[in-house]
C-alpha cells in the first residue's frame, strides 16, 4: 500500500517548487480539479479529475494506491479548507505526505499589504457556513472569505445587507494567479449589483471596528429594548429563562410569541454561530424585534410574522424552543413545537396565568416530555424620601420540558 502525496499548488503552477514538480512527475496517477490537471497536459501519466463527488474520489484513491503512486493536486495549501484534510482523516496521517503552499487568502492580504494575523477566515466554497460568517463579522474587524459560484461576492453582499449588516466594505480579488488577476474595493451596496470574475476571494473590512454587539450582555435592562406597553420578558425572568434553555454555540432557537425579541436577542450571546427564529403575530412588534436586533448587531435572527401555531413546520428544526406568549392557543403551540423539537431539545414556557400553567404541563406531558416548574417572584427596590421599599412584580411560572432518556435511547437504537 503506497502513501498518497498531496501537493499544494498555491495560486497556479508557477508557485510549485522544483521539489514539488519532481514529485508530480514521479506519479503513476495525477489527480486534481480540471484546471489543475490542464496545467500538466504535457506529462504522460494517467490523469483523474476530482469532481464535487469527493466520496467517489476517496474510493478511487483507496483502490488505486494498492499498486500506484498517487499525487493529488490541491489549490493553495491542502490543509487550509482543502482536500488534504479529508484524505488525511480517512487514510490516516501516516499514509499521507503533504507539500504546503501559499493560500489565496495569504496572497490577497499580500496584494494590499495588510497584516492578517488577527483576521478571521471562513470558507463558503462548497460549505454552508453563512451563519458562522455572521458570527465572525460581529466579532472581527477583518474577515477573509473563500467563495464559489453559488456564494459569489454579489450573493454575499446581498446576504449581508439582508441580515442588517451595514458596517463593512469589500475587497474582491478576481482570478488570482492568472494574467487577468485584479482586485476591486466596493461597498456592500455596490457589490450587490456587480458581477465578478471566477475564482475569487473576498476580504471584509469593518468601517467601525467591532460592531455594536459588544454592547449586548445577558440581563439587559428592560428599557434597553424598544417594546410595547411593558410587554417584555423582565430582565430577571429573562436571565432564568436563558439558563433553563441550556443554550450552547451552534444551536437553533425558536422564540415563539417573541414580543420585543429580548430573549432571542440575548440568546445570541450564547449560541454564537447558531440561529434564532423569532415568530410574532403583530406587525408592529415584528418591526420592534428587527430594530432591537439591528441595534445590537444580532445578524443571525430571522423575524417572521405568523399566527401560531401555523407555519412552524416550515421553519428550520429547533434545538431549543422558548414560548413567551400564546394565550388560548398555548397547548396547540406546545404540541406543534414538540413535533419539531430535536431529540436533545429543550422547551421553556413562561406564563403568569394559572390556567396556562396547567395547559402547558398537560400539553408537555401529552407530548411525552418530562417537566419541571419554577415559580419566580421578583421584587425591585423603589426609593423613598428617607429609605427604600420593594415593589413586587407578578409571579412568573417558568416551565421546562425535555425528552425522557427512554425516548432518546429508543430513537438512537432504531436503524
- Given 50, 75, 102, the domain boundary residue is 102
226 and 302 belong to one structural domain: yes
Report d(CA 346, CA 340) in Å as an integer: 11
113 and 191 belong to one structural domain: yes
pLDDT given for residue 208 in this prediction? 61
pLDDT given for residue 141 in this prediction? 85
pLDDT given for residue 211 in this prediction? 46
- Angstrom distances, CA of residue 97 to CA of 201, 259, 395: 27, 56, 65
For residue 223, what is the DSSP state?
A: G
pLDDT tens series, the chain, 415 aa: 899 999 999 998 899 999 999 999 999 999 999 989 999 999 999 999 999 899 999 999 999 999 999 999 999 999 999 999 999 999 999 999 999 999 999 999 999 999 999 999 999 988 888 889 998 988 888 999 999 999 999 999 999 999 989 889 999 999 998 899 999 999 999 999 999 999 999 999 987 644 455 688 898 998 999 998 777 888 999 999 999 999 999 999 999 999 999 999 999 999 998 999 999 999 999 999 999 998 998 999 999 998 889 889 899 999 999 998 777 889 999 999 999 999 999 999 999 999 999 999 999 999 999 999 999 999 989 999 999 999 888 899 999 999 998 666 666 556 5
Work out how many domains the chain is built from and give that number: 3
95 and 164 belong to one structural domain: no
Handedness of CA 279, 281, 283, 285 (dihedral sign): negative
pLDDT given for residue 413 in this prediction? 59
206 and 322 belong to one structural domain: no
90 and 200 belong to one structural domain: no
Dihedral, CA of residue 343, residue 251, residue 333 and residue 228, to nearest 10: 160
CATH number at residue 349: 3.40.50.150
Cell, residue 56: 467517489
Report d(CA 135, CA 133) in Å as an integer: 5
- Given 102, 137, 154, the domain boundary residue is 102
Q: How many helices (H) and strands (E) does the chain have?
A: 14, 19
CATH number at residue 10: 3.40.1010.10
Cell, residue 80: 487550509
228 and 182 belong to one structural domain: no
186 and 333 belong to one structural domain: no
341 and 244 belong to one structural domain: yes
Phi, psi angle pair for 275, to nearest 5°? -140, 140
CATH number at residue 205: 3.30.950.10
56 and 171 belong to one structural domain: no
186 and 226 belong to one structural domain: no
pLDDT given for residue 215 in this prediction? 80
Dihedral, CA of residue 14, residue 15, residue 18 and residue 24, to nearest 10: -90
pTM: 0.82
220 and 356 belong to one structural domain: yes
Report d(CA 315, CA 198) in Å as an integer: 33
> Which of 164, 174, 206, 173 shows the shortest CA–CA distance to 187?
206
Cell, residue 187: 461597498
Report d(CA 370, CA 361) in Å as an integer: 9
Domain that holds residue 121: 105-210
373 Cβ contact partners less than 8 Å away, ≥ 6 residues apart: 357, 361, 397, 398, 399, 400
Alpha helices in 144-215, H assignment, sequence order: 153-162, 188-191
277 and 313 belong to one structural domain: yes
- Given 102, 124, 143, the domain boundary residue is 102
Phi, psi angle pair for 56, to nearest 5°? -65, -40
Alpha helices in 42-152, H assignment, sequence order: 54-64, 83-91, 104-111, 130-139
Amino acid at each position: 500500500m503506497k502513501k498518497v502525496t498531496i501537493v499544494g499548488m498555491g495560486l497556479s503552477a508557477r508557485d510549485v517548487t522544483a521539489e514539488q514538480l519532481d514529485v508530480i512527475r514521479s506519479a503513476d496517477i495525477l489527480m486534481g480539479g480540471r484546471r489543475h490537471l490542464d496545467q500538466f497536459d504535457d506529462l504522460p501519466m494517467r490523469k483523474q479529475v476530482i469532481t464535487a463527488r469527493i466520496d467517489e474520489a476517496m474510493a478511487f484513491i483507496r483502490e488505486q494506491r494498492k499498486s500506484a503512486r498517487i499525487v493529488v493536486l490541491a489549490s493553495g495549501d491542502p490543509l487550509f479548507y482543502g482536500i488534504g484534510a479529508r484524505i488525511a482523516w480517512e487514510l490516516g496521517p501516516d499514509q499521507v505526505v503533504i507539500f504546503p503552499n501559499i493560500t489565496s487568502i495569504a496572497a490577497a492580504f499580500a496584494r494590499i499589504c495588510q497584516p492578517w494575523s488577527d483576521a478571521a477566515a471562513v470558507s463558503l466554497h462548497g460549505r454552508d457556513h453563512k451563519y458562522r460568517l455572521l458570527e465572525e463579522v460581529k466579532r472581527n474587524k477583518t474577515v477573509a472569505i473563500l467563495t464559489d459560484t453559488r456564494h459569489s461576492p454579489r450573493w454575499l453582499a446581498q446576504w449581508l445587507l439582508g441580515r442588517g449588516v451595514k458596517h463593512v466594505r469589500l475587497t474582491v480579488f478576481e482570478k488570482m494567479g492568472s494574467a487577468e488577476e485584479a482586485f476591486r474595493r466596493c461597498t456592500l451596496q455596490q457589490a450587490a449589483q456587480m458581477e465578478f470574475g471566477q475564482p475569487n476571494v473576498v476580504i471584509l473590512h469593518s468601517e467601525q471596528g467591532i460592531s455594536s454587539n459588544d454592547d449586548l450582555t445577558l440581563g439587559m435592562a428592560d428599557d434597553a429594548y424598544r417594546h410595547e406597553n411593558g410587554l417584555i420578558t423582565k430582565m430577571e425572568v429573562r436571565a432564568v429563562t436563558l439558563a433553563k434553555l441550556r443554550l450552547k454555540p451552534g444551536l437553533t432557537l425558536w422564540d415563539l410569541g417573541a414580543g420585543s425579541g429580548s430573549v432571542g436577542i440575548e440568546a445570541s450571546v450564547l449560541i454564537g454561530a447558531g440561529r434564532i427564529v423569532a415568530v410574532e403575530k403583530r406587525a408592529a412588534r415584528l418591526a420592534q424585534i428587527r430594530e432591537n436586533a439591528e441595534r445590537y448587531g444580532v445578524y443571525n435572527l430571522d423575524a417572521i410574522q405568523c399566527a401560531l401555531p401555523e407555519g412552524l413546520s416550515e421553519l428550520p428544526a429547533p434545538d431549543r424552543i422558548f414560548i413567551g406568549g400564546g394565550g388560548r392557543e398555548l397547548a396547540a403551540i406546545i404540541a406543534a413545537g414538540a413535533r419539531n423539537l430535536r431529540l436533545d431539545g429543550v422547551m421553556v414556557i413562561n406564563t403568569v396565568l394559572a390556567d396556562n400553567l396547567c395547559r402547558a404541563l398537560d400539553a408537555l406531558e401529552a407530548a411525552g416530555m418530562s417537566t419541571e416548574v419554577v415559580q419566580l417572584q421578583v421584587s425591585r427596590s423603589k426609593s423613598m424620601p428617607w429609605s427604600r421599599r420593594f415593589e413586587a412584580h407578578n409571579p412568573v411560572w417558568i416551565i421546562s420540558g425535555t425528552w425522557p432518556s427512554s425516548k432518546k435511547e429508543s430513537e438512537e437504537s432504531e436503524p
